[in-house]
Amino acid sequence: MTQKFDVVVIGAGPGGYVAAIKAAQLGLSTACIEKYTDKEGKLALGGTCLNVGCIPSKALLDSSWKFHEAQDGFAIHGINHAGVTMDVPAMVGRKANIVKGLTSGVATLFKANGVTSLQGHGKLLAGKKVEITKPDGSTEIIEAENVILAPGSRPIDIPPAPVDNNVIVDSTGALEFQAVPKRLGVIGAGVIGLELGSVWSRLGAEVTVLEALDTFLLAADTAVSKEALKTLTKQGLDIKLGARVTGSKVNGEEVVVNYTDKDGEKTITFDKLIVAVGRRPVTTDLLAADSGVSLDERGYVHVDDHCATSVPGVYAIGDVVRGMMLAHKASEEGIMVVERIKGHKTQMNYDLIPSVIYTHPEIAWVGKNEQQLKAEGVEVNVGTFPFAASGRAMAANDTGGFVKVIADAKTDRVLGVHVIGPSAAELVQQGAIGMEFGTSAEDLGMMVFSHPTLSEALHEAALAVNGGAIHIANRKKR
């Protein structure tokens, strides 16, 4: 007898597993299909984020930063030491243990909430039927009242630098180095490239980042991107803008990379090369020809503002649909879809999805940046506050960067918060909360912030919007 569920989710990443748990919590019979397995061949839930993305990269970032601090940052605190070394296999092993704990945690949550976990490749057929191809090659068809497509994304391959999983690797391979490469190349100066480049640079690699665009961090506020480029360069990352890779050749245990820049054709040799030029949606064998669901011109599943496809009862979320490829976006889309299945009018505010780069200093923003608003003809007032004037940042010896608050000049409503500095992700989230409720810069300035905290920098930047900052000299109000 064919199994039938109220909700079938294809993919157990941060969008899929959250949607499945929420559906079960709302009383819907739910199944979640996932094919990804770990090195031991066991089903590993959590998608790219938990297995080979957000979580493992942050584990390595934290470990490498602690090593950097031990080498170069302890003396100022009066902590004397000598001979600090890094055991790379132990660092990578710690990362693996964190991943294993979290992925098994998702399995536990499925069990606790009554989600049926099915292992295999899910494919949407006509009539909201789903075909599951199991690890042994056998197939099973289940039926659903509602289907949520959450297959995620994979790294983009580029012909000039084909990944061999040895010398040339993608973002997944870069998490598994067992030794620090002497010369490391990174193609792409986006979030992934900068984070992975930072990890291995801190451990002693000579890192060169080749970025095809002439502009650094195009999506970030110009003031933030300029500060980030200056800081990361000072940390040792050799970031070459306008450098388009045209070819590569692996010679034994090194790779020669050809690229062009404003001065013409050049070559450079690395011991390892990371290809980090972005990600693409996973739609391979996801949709039967008669499923009724269509892809747009870029290969994404076509959906409306509420993630509904053209087939009633079929939805798609996360990296496989329009918008930024972010785990938190996928999770909230999953919750929105499930609540709408239950008849609620839940919506998502796509204008207030925070972006974070976990370099050091962290880089984060929410809302619009100054160049976007100027291009739209919006008159704004801007307030900034440097962490160099923050008592808490000084106490922690972490004073690089600033907080920037942008407000509408007519209404004083906050339109964007941009941070580069310590705990940027947390400070931007404070801004996002306020912006969700239509806060003004004056509102933020009137709130009481505890002292001494890094959050006070947000408070002061909001005050500075209208020329009222206390702990820096104010610029004239625009």
User: What is the pLDDT averaged over residues 222-246?
Assistant: 98
Which positions are catalytic? 451
User: What is the pLDDT averaged over residues 202-216?
Assistant: 98
pLDDT of residue 165: 94
Distances (CA, A) of 196 to 377, 432, 459: 37, 27, 32
User: What is the pLDDT averaged over residues 138-165?
Assistant: 98
Per the listing, tokens 């000039």 go with 160
User: What is the pLDDT averaged over residues 106-130?
Assistant: 98
pLDDT tens string 283-319: 999 999 999 999 999 999 999 999 999 999 999 999 9
Domain 4-153+280-350, CATH among 3.30.300.30, 3.30.390.30, 3.40.50.720, 3.50.50.60: 3.50.50.60
pLDDT of residue 478: 45
User: In the structure, what pLDDT confidence band is assigned to residue 1 with cuts at 50, 70 and 90?
Assistant: confident
d(C-alpha 428, C-alpha 398), whole Å: 17
The answer to whether residue 113 scores a pLDDT higher than 60 is yes
The answer to whether residue 477 scores a pLDDT higher than 70 is no
Distance from the Cα of residue 476 to its chain's centroid:
36
pLDDT of residue 280: 97
pLDDT tens string 14-59: 999 999 999 999 999 999 999 999 988 999 999 999 999 999 999 9
3-state secondary structure of 474: coil
CATH C-level class of 168-277: alpha beta
The domain ranges of the chain are: 4-153+280-350, 168-277, 361-465
Task: Look up the CATH architecture of domain 361-465.
Answer: 2-Layer Sandwich (3.30)
The reply to whether 168-277 and 361-465 are identical in fold is no
User: What is the pLDDT averaged over residues 205-224?
Assistant: 98
Q: What is the 3-state secondary structure (H, E, C) of 423-440?
A: CHHHHHHHHHHHHHCCCE
User: What is the pLDDT averaged over residues 236-249?
Assistant: 98
Helix pair 54-72, 191-202: axis angle to 10 deg: 40
pLDDT of residue 319: 98
What are φ and ψ of residue 366, in 5° steps?
-145, 145
End-to-end CA distance of the chain: 70
Structure tokens at 104: 């098994």
pLDDT tens string 421-472: 999 999 999 999 999 999 999 999 999 999 999 999 999 999 999 999 999 9
d(C-alpha 170, C-alpha 151), whole Å: 19
Distance from the Cα of residue 151 to its chain's centroid:
16
Facing residues of 266 across strands? 259
pLDDT of residue 476: 64
Per the listing, tokens 């069990």 go with 111
pLDDT of residue 391: 98
What proportion of the chain, given as a percentage, has pLDDT over 70? 99
User: In the structure, what pLDDT confidence band is assigned to residue 236 with cuts at 50, 70 and 90?
Assistant: very high
d(C-alpha 159, C-alpha 167), whole Å: 15
Q: Using the Cα atoms of residue 290, residue 36, residue 147 and residue 283 in order, give the sign of their dihedral.
A: negative
pLDDT tens string 48-94: 999 999 999 999 999 999 999 999 999 999 999 888 999 999 999 99
